[in-house]
Structure 1
Amino acid sequence: MFQQILDPIGGSLLLSALCAALPLGLLFVLLGVFRVKAAKAAIASLALSLVLAVAGWRMPLDQALGATAAGIFYGLFPILWILVNALWIYKLTVATPWFEVLGRTIRSITNDLRILSILIAFCFGALLESLAGFGAPVAISAAMLMAAGMKPLKSAVVSLLANTAPVAFGAMAAPIIALNGVTGLPLHDLASMAGRQTPFIALIVPLLLVFIVDGKRGLKQTWPVALVAGAAFAAAQFVTSNYLAVELTDVVAAVVTVAAVLLMLKTWQPKETVGVGGSAEPVSVPAMASGTSGPTVQKKTTATGQLSGGLGVDGVPTDNTRPEPRQVWFAVAPYLIIIAVFTVAQIPFIKAWLGQVGSVTFAWPGLHIEDSAGNPVAATKFKLDHLKSTGTLLLFSGILTMALYRIKPRQGMRIYRETVAQLRWTIVTVTAVLALSFVMNLSGQTTTLGFALASAGGFFAFLSPLIGWIGVALTGSDTSSNSLFGQMQATAAEQTGLSPVLMAASNSSAGVMGKMLSLQNLAVASAAVGLEGAEGTLFRKLIGWSLGLLALITILIFLQSTPMLDWMVP
C-alpha cells in the first residue's frame, strides 16, 4: 500500500508545491515559449512527473508505471473512443454530397453576413463542435463564411470567437466526462454546474459576432436576432445538460438555435443587409470598443438572397440556391440519427439493460493507494461502459448513417482508418496528458498543489477560472485542461470550504475562453482562410475579447461561491 505524502520535499508544503508544479511549468514553457508540438511537450512533462513521483513523493516504481498505464487507458477509452467515432461521422458526411447540401441550406437563408455569422459560425460551428472538435468547427465555418463573401481575416476571427460556448460540452461532452474521470465527482453534477455557467456566455457571443462583422451599426440593426440566438442556445444548453443527456447538449442547443433564428427571420428582417460576394467592401476587424466601419450596405429586397453556383475563394462552393425539403432532411439526417440513438439509450428500461450487460467495474491492477488521511483513492477504480458509452453509441450512429447514405462497408472502414491516421498525434497528446494527470493525481503531486492553493482562502474562487483559462490556452483542449487541473481544483475547493463541483466545473467553463487563443486553433484558422503565419495577428485581434469574457465568467463563478448565487450549485 502506498500512502500519499503532502510535503515530501524537505517537509515544506510550499517547496513541495513548487516541485509538483514543475511538470506543468515545463508543459507550458515548451508549448508557449518554445512552441514544441503538444505531443512531445506532454511526453516530456510525463517523464518529469514520473521522476518526481518516484524520487520525491516516494511512490513505488511499479505503481507509478501502473498509474501511467491507467491514464493511457482512460485516454483511449472513453475519451478517444468518443473523439474518433465523432470525427468519423463527420468525415462520413463530408464524403457524400449531403455535406454541401447542408452548407447550401444555411447559406440560402439570408445574404446578410451578420446573420450568416450567427448561423454558420455560432450554430453550425456548435454542431460540428459537438461531433468533431479539435479545430474542425473553426476551419469549416471560416471557409463557409469566406464563400459567403466575408474577408479571410474576419472569417477567422468570427469563427474563433464563436467557438467558445459549445466547447465545454464538445465532442459529446468529452471534457465533462474527463473531469468526472479524474475527480470522481458525479457526472450529472458536473454537467449541471457547467450548464449553469456557459449559457451566460452563449447569451453574449452572438452580439459580439455581429459587432465584429459590422461594428456598432451591425449591433444596432441585428441585435434582436442575435439576442434570440443567444437566448435559444443558452436555454437549450441549460435544459439538456441539467435534465436530459449531457452528451447531446451541443447537438440540441445548435438545432434549437437554428430553428429559433429561422422562425424569427420569417417575421423579422433587418432594415438593411450587408451584401455578400462582390458587394462586400474590404473592412478591418473592429477591435474592442471600435467604431462602425463595415461593408457596403444594400437595401433589403428579398428575404432570401441567392448567388449563382460555382466555386468561391480557394475552391469553396458558393451555390446558395435553396435545396428541396427532401434534400434538407437527408443533409441533417446524421444529426437526427445521433439524437434518436441517444434518446433511445436514455429510455429507462433500455438504459438499465445497457447498464447491466454493458458495464464492468474493476480496480486497476497493482494500484493500492491511500491519500494522506489514509482513505482509499477513488481514481484507481474504473467503470467500463462498453455498450452504453458515448463512443459506442456514436459508432452505432455512424453505421446507421452509412446505411442511410448507402456508403459501402469498405469505404466506411477506409474513412475510419483515415480518421485514426488524422488523429494520430492527437491520440499521442491526449494519452500522454491523461497519463500525466493520473501520475500527478495518484502520486499526490496534485493534492500537494491543491493544499498549497487552498492557502488563498476565498480568493481561490477568483484563481480557479484563470487556471482553467491558462490550461486551455496552452494545451488547446478543454479535455486536456480538465484532466490536468480538475483534481487540483476539487482538492483546493475542499480545503477552502468551497464546492468541489463548482470549482471543478469552473475549470471547464472558464477554460473555453482560452480556446480562441490556443496555438493549435490559431494555426487551424490561419490555414483554413489561406493566411499562413497570421497567428500573431489573430491573437492580437482576439486577446481583448478572450480576457473580457473571462472577467465576466469569473465574476459569475465568484458570486456562485457566495450566498448570493450559491443556490445555483447542485
Structure 2
Amino acid sequence: MWMQTTDPLGSLVVSALVAAIPIVVFLVALVGLRLSGIRAGLIALVAQIAVAALGFGMPVSAMAGAGLLGLLTALWPIAYIIVMAVWLYKLAVASGRFDVIRSSIGGISRDQRIQVLLISFSFGAFLEGAAGFGVPIAICAALLVQLGFRPVKAAMISLVANAGAGAYGAIGIPVIVGAQVSGLEVHELSRALVLVLQPLTLLIPFLLVVILDGLRGLRETWPATLLLTVVFSGVQAGVLWFLGPELADLSSGLAGMVALFLLGRIWQPRRIHREPGAPEPEERRIGLGEVVAAWSPFYILTAVILVWSLPPFKALFAAGGPLAALAPVLPMPGLTGSILTPSGDVVTAAWSFTPINATGTAILLAVLVSFWTTPQLRAADLVGTLRATIRELWPALVLIAIILVLANIANHSGGSASMGAALAAVGPLFPVLAPIIGWIGVFLTGSVVNNNTLFAPLQVATAERLAVDPALLVGANTAGGTAAKVISPQSIAIAAGAVGLAGRESEILRASIWYSVGILAFLCAWSGLLSIVLAA
C-alpha cells in the first residue's frame, strides 16, 4: 500500500508550487499560446503525470487507477448529462417551439439586457437547481446565441451569471455534501452561505448589465436590475436560512422570472439595447397555451429531475435498498484500497455506475416525453438531433475527460491537498485565502461537490486551529468554487460545445478569466472581514 504525502520535497511551499505546475502549464498553453483545449489539456496531463511520479512518488498502478476513475467519471455521469441536455435543447429547436420561446422572451422585453437577466441569471439558476453539472451553462448560452448574441459573449455571460447559483446546484448537493464530509449540520452551513455568498449574488445582476452596456446600462435598467436582485437574493437567502439548500436555486430562479415578467407589463427601458447584428424579435401575438407548450420540455425536465432527487427515490438505489444492484459501485484497480492518506485513512474512491438513477437518465426521460408530446417531431428528428449533438460536443467531451484524468491524478497523488495545506499554513490570514482553496478545487475538478469533498475537512481542521467558525470557512470554500466555475476547463468546454466553439475554448477563457479573478478577490476580502466581525 502506497503512503500519500502532502510534503514530499521537505518544504510545504516548494511541494505546493510543484503541485501547481500542471495548472500553470494548462493556463499558459490555453491563454498564452492559444492552443486548443484538447492540446493544452494533453500537455498539462503530461506535466501532471511527471509531477505525480517524480515529485510525489505516486506508483504507476495508482496513477493508472486514478486516471481510469477520471475517464469513467467523465463518460458517466458527466458526458451523459451534457449530451442529454443539449439533445433536449436541439429537439426544442427542431420542433419549432424554440421560436415561440424566443418570441415569448422578446414579449417580456425587446431589451437584451433584460433578456440576459431573464435567461442567464433567472432561468439559469432555475436549471442549476434542477440539474446542475453544466446543464444551465449549455442551455442558456445556446439560447443567447439564438437571440443574436455572439458565441463568445453568450458563453462568457452564462458562465458569469452561474456564479449566483452554482453553490446550490442539483437540489443543493454541494452544500449537503460539504456538510457531510466536514461534520457540520446542513442548516448551519446553509446559513453560513447566506453570510458569505449573498453579497456577491446581489451584485451579479448589476455586473451582467455592466458587461453588456456599461454604467449607462445600469442607469437605464435599474428598476429591473434592482427588482431582480432584491427578489432573487431575498428568496434565495430566505430559503437557505429557514429551509436549507435544496430549493434555493429553483425557488429564487422562478421568483426572478415571475418578477421580470410582471415588471415588463408596466415598465420598459426608454432606450432598447440590442447587440450588434441581433435580429429584431418577431412582432406576433402568442397565446398562453402556445407559450406553455413551447416551454414544456424544460418543465418536464424539472419535474423528472425533482422526482429523481427525492429521498425515497434515492433510497431505492442506495446501499441496502431494493434496487441497489442496479447502481453498482466498481473499485478501481491500483487505487481503491491501495492508497493510505496522511491522516491514516484508506482511499475508497470507486466508480458508481447508475444507469437508472443517473441525472442523465432523468433528462433522457424528459427528452422522450417531450418527443412523444410534440406532434411536429418525427423519429428522424429524434435520431438526427442526437447525431448532431454528439458530432458537435465530442471535442468538449474529450477535453472534459482529459481534465478529469488530470484532476484525479492530482487529487490522489496528494498534490491538491499539498496546495491546500500550504495556504492553510498562513495562520490568521487564512480566512482571506480560504476561497482560493475552493477556487483551486473547482478548477481542478469542475465540480463544487468534488471541491467540498476534497477540501471541506481541511477547512474545518484549520478553523479549529485558528478558533474560527468552521461553517464560515467551509462556506468560503464553497463560494470560492463558484468563482472558479466561471473558468474551470469543464465549464469552458461545456460552454464551447453549446455555442459551436469546440476547439476555441481559449477565446472563452480569455473573455471570462478576469471576472473569475475579480469575483474571487471580492470573496477573499469579504471572508476575511466576516471572520473579524464574527470573532468580535
TM-score scaled to structure 1, two decimals? 0.74
For residue 416 of structure 1, the aligned residue among 380, 386, 390 is 386
How far did 1:27 drift?
1.7
Aligned to 2:50: 51
* 1:127 shift after superposition: 5.6
Spell out the pairing of 1:223-242 with structure 2 (5 A cutoff).
223-238=222-237
Change (3 A) 1:384 1:459: farther
Give the 3-state SS of the residue equivalent to 2:164 in structure 1: coil
Correspondence list, 1:409-488, <5 A: 409-466=379-436, 479=446, 487=454
Residues 138 and 521, structure 1, Cα contact 8 Å, conserved in 2: no
Tell whether 2:491 aligns with 1:491: no
Query: Structure 1 residue 470: deviation in Å?
Result: 7.5
Within 2, Cα distance between the matches of 1:321 and 1:174? 39
Moved more, 231-240 or 185-194: 185-194
Alpha-carbon shift at residue 238 of structure 1 (Å): 5.0
CA distance change for structure 1 residues 12 and 202 in 2, over 3 Å: closer, same or farther?
closer
- The answer to whether the 8 Å contact 2:67/2:408 transfers is yes
SS in 1 for 2:316: helix
- Code of the residue aligned with 2:371 in structure 1: it is M
| 8 Å Cα contact 1:194-1:509 kept in structure 2 | no
Q: Which amino acid aligns with 1:273?
A: R
2:403 matches 1:403: no
Q: CA deviation at 1:370?
A: 0.7
Q: Where do 1:513-532 residues align within 5 Å? A: none
Alignment-derived partner of residue 41 in structure 1: 40
SS in 1 for 2:270: strand
Q: Which residue of 1 aligns with 2:4?
A: 4
Q: Which has the larger radius of gyration?
A: 1
Change in CA separation of 1:236 and 1:479 when aligned onto 2, cut-off 3 Å: farther
From 555, 558, 565, the equivalent of 2:528 is 558
- 8 A contact 1:168–1:478 mirrored in 2: no
Contact 2:151-2:500 at 8 Å conserved across structures: no
1:141 counterpart = 2:141 = no
1:5 is paired with a residue whose SS is coil
Deviation at 1:69, TM superposition (A): 0.5
Number of the residue aligned with 2:478: 505
Residues 186/514 of structure 1: CA separation in 2 closer, same or farther (3 Å cut): farther
Distance 2:281 2:431 in 1: 48
- Find the counterpart in structure 1 of residue 334 from structure 2: 366
Tell me which of the two structures has the higher relative contact order, counting C-alpha pairs closer than 8 angstroms and 6 or more residues apart.
2
Shift in CA distance, 495/110, structure 1 to aligned 2, threshold 3 Å: closer
Instruction: For residue 434 of structure 1, report the CA deviation from its aligned partner.
Output: 1.4
User: 1:100 Cα shift?
Assistant: 1.0
**Cα distance in structure 2, aligned partners of 1:533 and 1:361:** 33
Write the distance in 1 (CA, Å) between the matches of 2:37 and 2:506. Answer: 20
> What is the DSSP-based 3-state SS (H/G/I as helix, E as strand, rest coil) of the residue aligned with 2:534?
coil
| 1:6–1:372 contact (8 Å) kept in structure 2 | yes
How many Å apart are 1:65 and its aligned residue?
0.7
Q: Report the secondary structure of 1:7's partner residue.
A: coil
CA contact under 8 A between 2:34 and 2:506: conserved in structure 1?
Answer: no
For the structure 1 residues 61 and 527, does the alpha-carbon distance in structure 2 shift closer, same or farther, using more than 3 Å as the test?
closer
SS of structure 2 residue aligned to 1:405: coil
Question: CA 1:458–1:138 in 2, change beyond 3 Å: closer, same or farther?
Answer: farther
Inter-partner Cα distance in structure 2 for 1:420 and 1:563 = 51
CA distance in 2 between counterparts of 1:375 and 1:466 reads: 25
Query: Is residue 387 from structure 1 mapped to residue 356 from structure 2 by the alignment?
Result: yes
Q: Is the CA contact 1:20–1:449 (under 8 Å) kept in the aligned structure 2?
A: yes
Cα deviation, residue 408, structure 1: 3.5
The answer to whether the Cα contact below 8 Å between 1:137 and 1:163 also exists between their aligned partners in 2 is no
Aligned mates of 1:534, 1:488 — CA distance in 2 = 28
For residues 107 and 75 of structure 1, what CA distance do their matches in structure 2 show? 37
Residue 273 (structure 1) aligned with residue 270 (structure 2): yes
Identity %: 29
Change (3 A) 1:121 1:372: closer
Partner amino acid, structure 1, of 2:355: H
Shift of 1:419: 1.7
CA positional deviation for 1:545: 6.1
In angstroms, what is the RMSD of aligned CA positions? 4.5
Equivalent-residue separation in structure 2 for 1:82 and 1:192 (angstroms)? 26
Q: Deviations over 1:12-54 (max 9, x none)?
A: 3333223222222222221221122222222222222223323
Range with greater deviation from structure 2 (192-201 or 87-96): 192-201
**Residue 319 (structure 1) shift:** 0.6
CA distance in 2, matches of 1:239, 1:384: 36
Q: CA deviation at 1:522?
A: 10
Alpha-carbon distance, 1:210 to partner: 4.6
Aligned residue type for 2:475 = L
Residue 404 of structure 1 deviates from its aligned partner by 1.4
Would the alpha carbon gap of residues 124 and 565 (structure 1) be closer, same or farther in structure 2, given more than 3 Å must change? farther
Instruction: Give the whole-Å Cα distance in 1 for the aligned partners of 2:284 and 2:184.
Output: 44
Q: Distance in 1 between matches of 2:245 and 2:463?
A: 31
Q: How many residue pairs are counted as aligned between the two chains?
A: 511
CA contact (8 A) 2:172 2:245 kept: no
Q: TM-score, normalised by structure 2?
A: 0.78
CA 1:434–1:223: 2 relative to 1, 3 Å? same
Where in structure 2 are the equivalents of 1:147-158 lying within 5 Å?
none
8 Å CA contact 1:519, 1:535 repeated in 2:
no
Alpha-carbon separation, structure 1, partners of 2:221 and 2:287? 28
**1:27 aligned to 2:26?**
yes
Relative to structure 1, is the Cα distance of residues 336 and 139 closer, same or farther in structure 2, using a 3 angstrom cutoff? closer
User: Per-residue displacement from partner, 1:520-540 (whole Å, max 9, x unpaired)?
Assistant: 799899999xxx99969995x
Matched AA of 1:487: L
Residues 1:203 and 2:202 are matched in the alignment: yes
Structure 1, unpaired ranges of 5+: 283-312
After superposition, the Cα gap between the structure-2 partners of 1:404 and 1:241, relative to the gap in structure 1 and judged at 3 Å, is farther
Query: Using a 3 Å threshold, how does the CA distance of structure 1 residues 524 and 410 change in structure 2: closer, same or farther?
Result: closer
* SS class of match (1:374): coil
The residue type paired with residue 410 of structure 2 is M
d(CA) in 2 for partners of 1:370 and 1:207?
47
Compute the displacement of 1:444 (Å): 1.7
- Are the structure 2 counterparts of residues 503 and 326 from structure 1 closer, same or farther at C-alpha, using a change threshold of 3 Å? same
Shift of 1:428: 1.5
> How much has 1:4 moved relative to structure 2?
1.0
Equivalent AA in structure 2 for residue 363 of structure 1: P
The answer (yes or no) to whether the contact 1:437–1:483 under 8 Å persists in 2 is no
- Please give the alpha-carbon distance, in whole angstroms, between the structure 2 residues aligned to 1:376 and 1:113: 53
Which residue is equivalent to 1:300?
A: none
CA contact (8 A) 1:112 1:273 kept: no
Checking the alignment, whether the CA contact within 8 Å between 1:105 and 1:322 is kept in structure 2 is: no
